[in-house]
């Protein structure tokens, strides 16, 4: 079996990887599709992000789907050949955060393709993978590519839960990569009345418009356009900040209404914030990190046609050309979501 293993920046190799047999309560998955995520790109281009650094070779990937190839003992509800979306979030279930209902903050989290702990948690970009049966959500009539989008959609759904009641609210989304565009879809499904999206790339903004944004603004071409929303102490009730860039967040704070909710999704690094403005407007600043219980809902919303992710899958590249998928995934002028087809 082959796997995509990162050794150092720009050193991604297709290597032999041991094949496991499923134990009790487990299934073997023959991988079908995998999306290249922003964190995968950080490992590929820079060897990590922030303080998180590669310390040993690691299999990348966590946005994946595949077909059940073999069942371990005591597995019910799954059959060989089933297409499943695979939840990469594997909390321990018994630490303090798991017990208080915050499994995404598990002290012993095993999230695929993560260099946060050492030894690193190996990822899912392998031709075959043994998983717990509980990680599998049957994808029905979805395509493998759509099923693999359950992971990033779960991120956006978790952020939407963190945002609170969106019914009738005015929403600003800064950053129209996959997570930002999925935030547009999620906010609309949650009842947002108006959505404005900003980015530096026209191509990214075209995806946001296609997802239902009422207005898109290229802040590189129109740097002052967002400022029109600052009158009367601000316009927007909720912000999804998906860039992780300080300038994007600071400019967005100026157009937030008093007591608005700021949801920070982007993880670009440390920021210096205008705390006096946050205090004077009584803004509610909320982080949003990963997800867990939202994963089955993501699959359900796609399967019912309530959220359509197909237009976001802009490039599908074969496993033998996987390095090309990583190279092209970083080109925001033409790519929304690049996926690897494993078969």
User: What's the per-residue H, E or C state across the chain?
Assistant: CEEEEEEECCEEEEEECCCCCCCCCEEEEEEEEEECCHHHHHHHHHCEECCEECCCCEECCCEEEEEEEEECCCCCCCCCCCEEEECCCCCCCCCHHHHCCCHHHCCCCCCCCECCCCCCECCCCECEEEEEHHHEEECCCCCHHHHHCHHHHHHHHHHHHHHCCCCCCEEEEECCCHHHHHHHHHHHHCCCCEEEEEECCHHHHHHHHHCCCCEEEECCCCCCHHHHHHHHHCCEEEEEECCCCHHHHHHHHCCEEEEEEEEECCCCCCCCCCHHHHHHCCCEEEECCCCCCCHHHHHHHHHCCCCCCHHHEEEEEEHHHHHHHHHHHCCCCCCCEEEEECC
What does the pLDDT look like over 175-191, one tens digit per residue?
999 999 999 999 999 99
pLDDT at position 290 is 94
pLDDT at position 292 is 93
Q: Are 111 and 62 in contact (CB under 8 A)?
A: yes
Q: What is the mean pLDDT of residues 144-158?
A: 98
Q: Are 129 and 66 in contact (CB under 8 A)?
A: yes
Q: Give me the residues paired with residue 288 across strands.
A: none
DSSP-derived letter for residue 126 is B
Q: What is the pTM of this model?
A: 0.96
Q: Give me the residues paired with residue 67 across strands.
A: 30, 83
Token readout for 129 is 């993978």
pLDDT at position 16 is 95
Task: Indicate the SS3 state at residue 89.
Answer: coil
pLDDT at position 280 is 97
Q: Are 192 and 169 in contact (CB under 8 A)?
A: yes
- Give which of 59, 57, 31, 4 is closest to 130, Cα–Cα: 31
Q: How many CB atoms sit inside 10 A of residue 56's CB? A: 10
Q: How many CB atoms sit inside 10 A of residue 231's CB? A: 9
Q: Give me the residues paired with residue 53 across strands.
A: 48
Residue keyed to tokens 């219980």:
293
What does the pLDDT look like over 295-330, one tens digit per residue?
999 999 999 999 999 999 999 999 999 999 999 998
| CA quadruple 161, 164, 170, 175: dihedral, nearest 10 | -40
Q: Give me the residues paired with residue 124 across strands.
A: none
Angle (deg, nearest 10), helices 38-46 and 322-329? 100
pLDDT at position 198 is 98
Q: What is the mean pLDDT of residues 4-29?
A: 95
What does the pLDDT look like over 24-43, one tens digit per residue?
999 999 999 999 999 999 99
Q: Which helix (H) or strand (E) holds 7?
A: strand 2-8
- C-alpha–C-alpha distance, residues 131 and 177, integer Å: 29
Average pLDDT, the chain: 96
Domains within the chain, CATH numbers bracketed? 2-149+309-341 (3.90.180.10), 154-287 (3.40.50.720)
- Give which of 38, 44, 39, 32 is closest to 8, Cα–Cα: 44
For 283, how many CA atoms within 13 A lie in the half-sphere containing its CB? 31
Residue 73: pLDDT band with limits 50, 70, 90: very high
- C-alpha–C-alpha distance, residues 331 and 340, integer Å: 16
pLDDT at position 157 is 98
């Amino acid at each position: 079996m082959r796997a995509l293993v990162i050794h150092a920046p720009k050193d991604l190799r297709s290597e032999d990887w041991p094949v496991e047999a499923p134990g009790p309560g487990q299934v073997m998955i023959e991988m079908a599709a995998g999306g290249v995520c922003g964190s995968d790109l950080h490992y590929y281009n820079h060897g990590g992000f922030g303080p998180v650094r590669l310390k040993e070779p690691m299999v990348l990937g966590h946005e994946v789907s595949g077909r059940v190839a073999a069942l371990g003992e005591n597995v019910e509800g799954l059959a060989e050949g089933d297409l499943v979306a695979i939840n990469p979030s594997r909390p321990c279930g018994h630490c303090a955060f798991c017990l208080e209902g915050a499994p995404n903050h598990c002290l012993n989290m095993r999230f695929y393709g993560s260099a946060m702990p050492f030894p690193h948690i190996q990822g899912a970009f392998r031709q075959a993978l043994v998983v717990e049966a509980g990680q599998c959500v049957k994808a029905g009539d979805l395509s493998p590519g759509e099923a693999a989008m359950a992971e990033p959609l779960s991120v956006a759904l978790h952020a939407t839960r963190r945002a609170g009641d969106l019914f009738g609210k005015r929403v600003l989304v800064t950053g129209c990569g996959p997570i930002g565009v999925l935030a547009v879809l999620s906010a609309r499904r949650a009842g947002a009345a108006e959505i404005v999206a900003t980015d530096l790339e026209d191509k990214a903004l075209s995806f946001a418009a296609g997802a239902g944004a009422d207005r898109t603004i290229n802040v590189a071409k129109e740097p002052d356009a967002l400022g029109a929303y600052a009158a009367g102490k601000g316009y927007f009730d909720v912000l999804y900040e998906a860039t992780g860039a300080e300038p994007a967040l600071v400019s967005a704070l100026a157009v937030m209404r008093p007591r608005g909710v700021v949801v920070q999704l982007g993880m670009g690094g440390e920021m210096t914030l205008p705390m006096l403005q946050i205090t004077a407007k009584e803004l509610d600043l909320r982080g949003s990190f990963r997800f867990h219980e939202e994963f089955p809902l993501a699959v359900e919303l796609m399967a019912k046609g309530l959220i359509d992710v197909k237009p976001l899958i802009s490039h599908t590249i074969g496993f033998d050309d996987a390095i090309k998928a990583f190279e092209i995934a970083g080109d925001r002028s033409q790519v929304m979501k690049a996926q690897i087809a494993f078969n």
